[in-house]
Amino acid sequence: MRKNSKNKRFIYLISPNKIKNEKFYTTLRQVLSSKKVSFFQLRLKKESFKNKIYIGKKIKKICKKYQVKLLINDDPVIAKKINADGCHLGQKDMKIYNARKLLKNKIIGVTCHNSLKLAKRAVKEGANYLAFGAFYSTKTKRTKYKASLKILGLAKKLTNIPFVAIGGIKDTNYKKLLLNKANFLAISGYIWNNKKLNPKEAINKLI
C-alpha cells in the first residue's frame, strides 16, 4: 500500500450501508472517474454472504477499470472469495495473523480508534495501514471513540506505514487532516448522503 505523496488520490471511499439498485453502479463509476479515489471499501453489515459476493464481484470490475483497490470490510473470507485487493479489520474481527494466512500478501488494514497501543500491536502484527478516528461527528455509524489530530503526529513516530483518517470528513474539514499527516481520508456519508450535492459534485469539491 503506497503512501499518496502527491495526494492526488487521497480518498478512501467507503460504500453506503445499503446498495439498493443498479443505479448505484452508474453513480460509482461517475465518482471513481474523478481519479481521486485510491481505495474503495465494501461495507455491508446487514447483507447476506451470497449478496456480498454478488455485489463485490460487480464492484470489483468497476474498481479495476478506474485503478482503485477494492477492500472488504470485516471479512477476509469474502475478500479471498472474490479476489479483492484486501480487507479491513475491526478490533473484534479476525486476527491479522489468521487473515494473513488467508490473504497472503494482500492489503490488511486495522482500526486503531484513538489508541497508540492498538497501533503498535497492529504494526507488530503486520498491518499494511492503520485507521484512526472518529475525528469528527458522523451519522454513518455509531462511534465510541473520538480521535484528535495529535494522535496522527504521535503515530508517525512509531511507524512509516500509511494512516487512514475516518469520521465525519467533508469538504469543510478534510484539508486539516491532510496537513496533519493523514495519508488517506475515509469518506462515506459526505458522498452518499449529501443533501446538497450529488455524489459526483460532492467528490469534486475535494481538491
Q: Which three cell numbers stand for residue 37?
A: 479515489
Cα separations (Å) of 94 from 33, 39, 187? Answer: 33, 21, 24
Q: What is the pLDDT of residue 3?
A: 55
The grid coordinates listed for 35 are 481519479
| 11 touches 36 (CB < 8 A) | yes
Residue range 74-84: mean pLDDT, rounded: 97
> Does 140 have pLDDT greater than 80?
no
Give, in degrees to the nearest 5, the angle at Cα 9 between 29 and 137.
Answer: 90
Residue 195, amino acid: K
Q: Which of 154, 144, 147 is nearest to 186 (CA)?
A: 147
Topology of domain 11-204, per CATH? TIM Barrel (3.20.20)
**Minimal CA–CA distance to 109: which of 157, 71, 156, 145?**
71
What percent of the chain clears pLDDT 70, i.e. is strictly above it?
Answer: 95
CB neighbourhood size of 34 (10 A):
18
Residue 138 is predicted with a pLDDT of: 76
CA 183 to chain centre: 12
Residue identified by cell 473484534 is 92
Task: Please name the residues in contact with 124: beta carbons below 8 A apart, sequence gap of 6 or more.
Answer: none
pLDDT tens per residue, range 109-133? 999 999 999 999 999 999 999 999 9
Flag whether pLDDT at 27 surpasses 80. Answer: yes
CA 23 to mean position of chain CA atoms: 22
Band (137; pLDDT cuts 50, 70, 90): confident
C-alpha distances out from residue 121 to 70, 99, 112, 158, 159, Å: 24, 15, 9, 11, 11
pTM reported for the whole predicted model: 0.94
Separation of alpha carbons 67 and 40, rounded Å: 10
Q: Which residues contact 55 (CB under 8 A, 6 or more apart)?
A: 19, 42, 44, 47
For residue range 148-206, list pLDDT tens digits in order: 999 999 999 999 999 999 999 999 999 999 999 999 999 999 999 999 999 999 999 99
- Write out the three cell numbers for 36: 481521486
Q: Do you know the residue count of the chain? A: 207
Residue 175 C-alpha cell reads as 484539508
pLDDT at residue number 142: 67
